[in-house]
Amino acid sequence: MPKTYEVKPDMVQILNEDGEVDKDLFLKLNIDNELLLTMYEWILKGRVFDKKFINLQRQGRIGTYGSFAGQEAAQVGSALAIKKQDWIIPSYRETVVSLIHGVPLNNFLMYFRGHFGGTRPPKNVNMFPIQHIIAGQIPQAVGCAWASKLKGEDSVSTCYFGDGATSQGDFHEGLNFASVYKLPVVFFCQNNQWAISVPIEKQMGSETIAQKATAYGMKGVRVDGNDVLACYQVATEAMERARSGNGPTLIEAVTYRLGSHTTADDWTRYRSKDEVELWANKKDPLIRFESFLKQQGLFSSERKAAIVSMVEDEIETALAEFETVKPAPAYESFDFAYDKPDEDLLIQKEELKRRIKSEGR
């Protein structure tokens, strides 16, 4: 008989909004100071990267950008639980996840500037290209996990998506298939409360996203997405569950998108200022974790300033180098359509190449 799970899972939280930990849960986590500081460094890096990328877009130096400010704890906590041999299948907001897993900063600059190679990670980084089709990456993650299982590999696929993706058929099809075949995959939903301008209560009738796992006979976990410690814990447990052959897990990380959906959006048209300020002032994952580190005697304003300066310098250095690279010609787009292009595609590529050259472009 298939396992049965609780219909409405409780919220997992270790670090509360005041930066105080549940001592028993924290001790059980068995985490050292080095990893705590690594978590903080990545959360802070994420905040700096996000602000810088928004400024670059406003300056016209990169294209449309999707902010992830407010979601750093969910991304950092989950990403640090993922091993090198594991696969990440992202949507378009997993900047910190990608950087932690080994994607170079230059890849993001290339991607946001529209270069064809921007979504191609290095060969030693197990990561799929950025997916903009809502929920389109979920069946891909299931396929990746199925391939790993068939090949007998010790790898788990982690699929990231937002709350809006749970309204798509791909979400339900993916979870059903993964559960039936007990695939090594973790579905990590960052519930940031808004699918562009649609609030969560207009997307679904169920009280939580995590409880949807029950219908598919898999483990569903609801976690405070602004608590990096809890996100790390539930992601680690889900990875172990998948790796040991006990099937997939659906994680709902309850968090909040502080900024607009993308730089092409204006959140003031559909959200109240009071709502945003509540999350920014009372629930911010960066402020919360800094408060915790101060209580532990691990916070240093000098260290914080050094990290901010380092990240800003890293971005400026990469940008200065990247902006000397000429945009790729349009005909190179054919090289990224298929692994082995057919004859018709090659003919079209040559036609476009001749046209561009004849026009002096």
Catalytic residue positions, numbered: 257, 261, 270
Angle made by CA atoms 317, 320, 324, in degrees to the nearest 5:
145
**Quick one: which of 94, 105, 104, 101 has its CA closest to 62?**
105
- Are 330 and 352 in contact by the 8 Å Cβ rule? The answer is yes
> CA-CA distances (angstroms) from residue 167 to 24, 137, 155, 221, 338?
37, 14, 28, 18, 30
Concatenated DSSP letters for 122-188?
-TTS-BPPP--STTTHHHHHHHHHHHHHHHT-S--EEEEEEGGGGGSHHHHHHHHHHHHTT-SEEEE
Are 353 and 335 within 8 A, CB to CB? no
Q: Indicate the residue type of 195.
A: A
Q: 62 by DSSP, 3-state: which?
A: coil
Residue 27 carries which side chain, given as an amino acid letter?
L
Residue 102 neighbours by CB under 8 Å, 6+ apart: 84, 121, 122, 124, 125, 127
Whether the CB-CB separation of 76 and 96 falls below 8 Å is answered with yes
**Rounded-to-10 torsion of CA 164, 174, 208, 95:** -50
Check: CB of residue 293 under 8 Å from CB of residue 36: yes
- What CA–CA distance (Å, rounded) separates 190 from 165? 10
Using alpha carbons, list the distances in angstroms from residue 56 to 79, 109, 173, 180, 319.
Answer: 26, 10, 38, 45, 10
Q: What are phi and psi of 236, to 5 degrees?
A: -60, -45
Question: E strands, 236-280, where?
Answer: 249-254
Q: What does each C-alpha distance from 358 to 23, 333, 335 come to in angstroms? A: 71, 19, 21
